[in-house]
Amino acid sequence: MNANQPLICLKQISFSYPEAPPVINQLDLDFYRGDRIGLMAPNGSGKTTLFHLIMGLLKPISGQMEIFGKPVKEEKDFFEVRRRIGLLFQDADDQLFSPTVLEDVAFGPLNLGKSKTEAIEISRKTLEFLGLAGFENRITFKLSGGEKKLVSLATVLAMEPEILLLDEPINGLDRKTSGKLIDVLKNLDLSYMIISHDIDFLDATTHAIYTMANGKILVDQQMQVHQHVHAHPHGTYPHAHET
Ligand SMILES: Nc1ncnc2c1ncn2[C@@H]1O[C@H](COP(=O)(O)OP(=O)(O)OP(=O)(O)O)[C@@H](O)[C@H]1O
Ligand SMILES: [Mg+2]
């Protein structure tokens, strides 16, 4: 693929859950190498669904997807996508399944063909990088919500993805820990898209904030989220001002 081509290109993608109206409706998205995009939109607007479509966990009803320059349609097309794109699930319990933290983090690298020694080495380094040294033998299901979120992120980073899709990464994290995550993200040389309802977090970690409405992504300047110092009936959600 050439350097000017988007890494993720969605064209006219539509999706609906069974017996429900479309959640994603002729959505277009171009995501380029180096992009750091925030996605902020109301509950139920389809943000998580969009990430699951990109990973091939859900299949669109219509439209075209090209990822890393190749059309992706069938299950086998998504093997490479899942190797090169790391998805942090909104709910850490969807991510973690091994008895101990080290086994969970090492699972990805082992699956990618690393030796046991290499996988353990990568896992320890990743845990340390996230301030989780000493968590190796902790029982995963006994971790606190915030700890689970960080261990989930460790499982994603240990696979050394090229793109991160983070679905509400600071949900449940205290201020100090989310501050640490801001530093971690700034120091990673990765392209990413982050779903969050926290404007300050997105401001600190991304270059642009998109929103979603009526099943589409809105990238219009007018509709980009901006910070306010005044009270506003629309709360923290994106909206247009009359000029
Ligand atoms: N498995 C499912 N079956 C049926 N409907 C679903 C399913 N998952 C999600 N939905 C519906 O699809 C819509 C979009 O859900 P989605 O989880 O993508 O929203 P979201 O923007 O991520 O919301 P939130 O900010 O609450 O996480 C919602 O109305 C939701 O109820
Ligand atoms: Mg969601």
pLDDT digits (tens, 9 = 90+) for 61-96: 999 999 999 999 999 999 999 999 999 999 999 999
Please say if the pLDDT value at position 3 is more than 90. no
Confidence of residue 228 (pLDDT cuts 50, 70, 90): very low
Please say if the pLDDT value at position 36 is more than 90. yes
45 lines ligand 1 (CB under 6 A): yes
Question: What confidence score (pLDDT) does residue 190 get?
Answer: 93
Report pLDDT digits (tens) over 122-141. Answer: 999 999 999 999 999 999 99
Please say if the pLDDT value at position 221 is more than 80. no
52 lines ligand 1 (CB under 6 A): no
Distance in angstroms (rounded) separating the CA atoms of residues 131 and 110? 22
H/E run at residue 26: strand 24-31
Distance 45 CA to ligand 2 centre (A): 8
Phi, psi of 140 (to 5 degrees): -55, -45
Distance in angstroms (rounded) separating the CA atoms of residues 2 and 66? 13
Distance 85 CA to ligand 2 centre (A): 18
Nearest CA to ligand 1 atom 28: 44
User: What domains can be seen in the chain, in order of their start residue?
Assistant: 8-223 (3.40.50.300)
Distance in angstroms (rounded) separating the CA atoms of residues 53 and 49? 6
Please say if the pLDDT value at position 226 is more than 80. no
Report pLDDT digits (tens) over 22-34. Answer: 999 999 999 999 9
Distance 23 CA to ligand 2 centre (A): 12
Distance in angstroms (rounded) separating the CA atoms of residues 51 and 141? 25
Mean pLDDT of the chain: 91
Phi, psi of 100 (to 5 degrees): -120, 160
Nearest CA to ligand 1 atom 30: 44
196 lines ligand 1 (CB under 6 A): no
Nearest CA to ligand 1 atom 5: 17
Distance 196 CA to ligand 2 centre (A): 9
Confidence of residue 241 (pLDDT cuts 50, 70, 90): low
Residue 183 CA: distances (Å) to CA of 128, 148, 186, 188 = 14, 19, 5, 9
Q: Three-class SS of residue 11? A: strand
Question: What confidence score (pLDDT) does residue 227 get?
Answer: 46
Of 185, 143, 178, 146, nearest to 163 (Cα)?
185
- Best substitution site from 39, 47, 94, 197 to test ligand 1's pocket, by max atoms within 8 Å of Cβ? 47
Distance in angstroms (rounded) separating the CA atoms of residues 233 and 149? 32
231 lines ligand 1 (CB under 6 A): no
Sheet containing strand 36-39, edge to edge, reads: 85-88, 163-167, 191-195, 36-39, 208-213, 216-218
Question: What confidence score (pLDDT) does residue 240 get?
Answer: 53
Question: What confidence score (pLDDT) does residue 130 get?
Answer: 92
Question: What confidence score (pLDDT) does residue 223 get?
Answer: 44
Please say if the pLDDT value at position 210 is more than 80. yes
20 lines ligand 1 (CB under 6 A): yes
Q: What value does the mean pLDDT take over residues 202-220? A: 93
Q: Which residues have their alpha-adjacent CB atom under 5 A from ion ligand 2?
A: 47-48, 90
Measure the CA angle with vertex 138, ends 92 and 85; round to 5°.
35
